[in-house]
Amino acid sequence: MLRRIYDWCIDAAHKPHAMWIMAAVAFAESSFFPVPPDVMLIPMSLAKPQRAWLFAGVCTAASVAGGLVGYAIGALLYDSLGHWLIQLYGLGDKVEAFRASYAEWGAVIILLKGLTPIPYKLVTITSGFAGYNLFLFIVCSIIARGGRFFIAAILLNRYGEWIRVQIEKRLGLWVALGAAVLVAGFVIAVKLI
């Protein structure tokens, strides 16, 4: 089953709508969707390493745009939708501490958490809720999300063929590691927020 999903992702990279789907996932992940865009960015970049830069740029732009939606949820809809999303992830009791830390460490929080597997939607919603400076939020988001996606693009562009061989040899292991990283991101978010 994993092989079929992997093969579908690799084949989908050659379809004209693949980049739009990846952009939609990157957009949604920054505000409410639990699956990171890396699940599409990596296979698409493996299938077409020469386009890894373009894919990273699209992920960055869509993620920052989605981050603005997350920011708006936190700023305008926190009492309803934002609070519900934070509760859904089990972080309701930690938001006030996270909000207070924004006063002193806002840029550092956005930069560090935007690069990690910690769900970025938590950062975007809390940034809006905390009233963090919107311009600085956008700049930090571009740096953090761009850094994350372009690091992947550099590696996949340069070592894509070798990485693809390694992934295909041990697909189950890599999927398990990816899932573990995603779960670890949520666990870390719960502990740090």
Give the tens place of pLDDT for each residue, 17-74.
889 989 999 999 998 887 788 888 888 888 888 889 999 999 999 999 999 999 998 8
CA atoms of 46 and 141, how far apart (whole Å): 25
pLDDT value at position 164?
74
Q: What is the pLDDT of residues 114-163, one digit of tens each?
A: 777 677 888 898 889 888 999 999 999 999 999 999 998 998 888 877 87
| Residue 6: both structure tokens together | 């992997």
Write down the pLDDT at residue 62: 97
3-state secondary structure of 31: coil
Q: Which residue has the tokens 């639990």?
A: 34
The span from the CA of 135 to the CA of 169, in Å, is: 45
pLDDT of 145: 93
Cα distances (angstroms) measured from residue 187 to each of 29, 81, 158, 182? 17, 22, 32, 9
What is the pTM for the complete model shown?
A: 0.78
Q: What CA–CA distance (Å, rounded) separates 179 from 38?
A: 12
SS3 state at 5: helix
Domain chopping of the chain, boundaries: 2-192
